[in-house]
């Protein structure tokens, strides 16, 4: 049995209780060494075999799992496994081998980042949608999902895997409809001890990141949800009734 587990964004106590229980019981742990906090490995059993997948291929990862098919393996991914986690190809390989699996969700870095700056992505009167995307790099992005096209919605945007391409990101956001002075934030290593947050604008993304020495392990947040203006929620509005509360006159 294989358990895909979300390790959370960084801080070791942001793994779920279920994820931690699975780590404590595992015979084998294969963790994404580039971004998973190694403190999490402290709760592994003494006789647990631990592999860092950062230097391994998909075939090697599946090889370790297959050799230990009768054991409990935890495949530990950073954040939530469903976001840029490359779990689908592993799941398909396990299906072909007839090995059972389940997935334990994790706190994505996009939530570590919003927590770090106290932001709400879905701000009434501003945006009710969040676009999770990345710049095309060595991994291509479909043309219909270009930053320009996605920017035209004016929705809240969370841009992964792009901290090394901020000049280009900024130019594309602007050609898609954001203003140079539209609010943006860069959150480096959200929830880690060396977390850094930079409140900036779309036009100043590259300069401000360079000043802070940030070029990786960061998220770029863009949108007016980072600005000052919004409407108050209906949910807690005294003049609004819903299933749990009557309007107050």
CB of 109 to ligand SAH, least distance (A): 3
CB of 73 to ligand SAH, least distance (A): 19
Give 20 or 189: the residue with its C-beta nearer to ligand SAH: 189
Query: What are the DSSP calls for 50-75, one per residue?
Result: EEEGGG--HHHHHHHHHHTTTS-EEE
Give 73 or 217: the residue with its C-beta nearer to ligand SAH: 217
Q: Count Cβ atoms below 10 Å from residue 138 Cβ, excluding itself.
A: 4
Give 20 or 77: the residue with its C-beta nearer to ligand SAH: 77
Binding site for ligand SAH (CB under 6 A): 9-10, 35, 77-80, 83-85, 108-109, 112-113, 160-161, 187, 189-192, 217-219
* 3 state SS of 119: coil
Residue with tokens 């647990």: 48
CB of 219 to ligand SAH, least distance (A): 4
Give 66 or 83: the residue with its C-beta nearer to ligand SAH: 83
CB of 96 to ligand SAH, least distance (A): 24
With left for phi above 0 and alpha for psi between -120 and 50, is residue 6 left, alpha or beta? Answer: beta
CB of 113 to ligand SAH, least distance (A): 6
* 3 state SS of 166: helix
CB of 165 to ligand SAH, least distance (A): 11
Q: How far apart are the first and last CA of the chain?
A: 57
Dist CA 142 CA 71 (whole Å): 39
Among candidates 110, 122, 201, 207, which has minimal Cα distance to 161? 110
Residues contacting residue 12 through CB under 8 Å, at least 6 positions apart: 37, 39, 40
Give 154 or 164: the residue with its C-beta nearer to ligand SAH: 164
Residue facing ligand SAH at closest CB distance? 79
**Exposed / middle / buried, residue 136 (Cβ in 10 Å: 0-12, 13-18, 19+):** middle
Give 47 or 193: the residue with its C-beta nearer to ligand SAH: 193
């Amino acid at each position: 049995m294989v358990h895909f587990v979300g390790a959370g964004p960084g801080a070791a106590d942001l793994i779920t209780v279920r994820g931690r229980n699975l780590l404590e019981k595992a015979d084998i742990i294969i963790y994404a060494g580039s971004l998973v906090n190694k403190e999490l490995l402290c709760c592994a059993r003494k006789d647990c075999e631990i592999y860092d997948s950062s230097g391994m291929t998909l075939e090697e990862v599946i090889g370790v799992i297959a050799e230990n098919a009768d054991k409990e393996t935890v495949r530990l991914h950073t954040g939530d496994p469903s976001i840029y986690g490359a779990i689908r190809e592993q799941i398909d390989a396990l299906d072909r081998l007839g090995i059972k699996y389940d997935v334990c969700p994790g706190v994505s870095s996009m939530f570590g980042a919003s927590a770090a700056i106290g932001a709400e992505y879905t701000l009434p009167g501003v945006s009710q949608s969040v676009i999770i995307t990345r710049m095309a790099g060595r991994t291509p992005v479909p043309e219909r999902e270009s930053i320009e096209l996605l920017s035209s919605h004016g929705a809240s945007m969370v841009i992964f895997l792009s901290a090394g391409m901020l000049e280009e990101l900024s130019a594309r956001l602007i050609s898609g409809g954001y203003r140079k002075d539209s609010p943006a934030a860069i959150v480096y290593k959200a929830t880690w001890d060396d977390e850094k947050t930079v409140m900036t604008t779309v036009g100043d993304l590259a300069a401000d990141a360079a000043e802070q020495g940030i070029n990786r392990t960061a998220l770029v947040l863009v949108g007016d949800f980072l600005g000052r203006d919004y409407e108050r929620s209906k949910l807690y509005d005294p003049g609004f009734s819903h299933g749990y509360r009557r309007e107050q006159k």
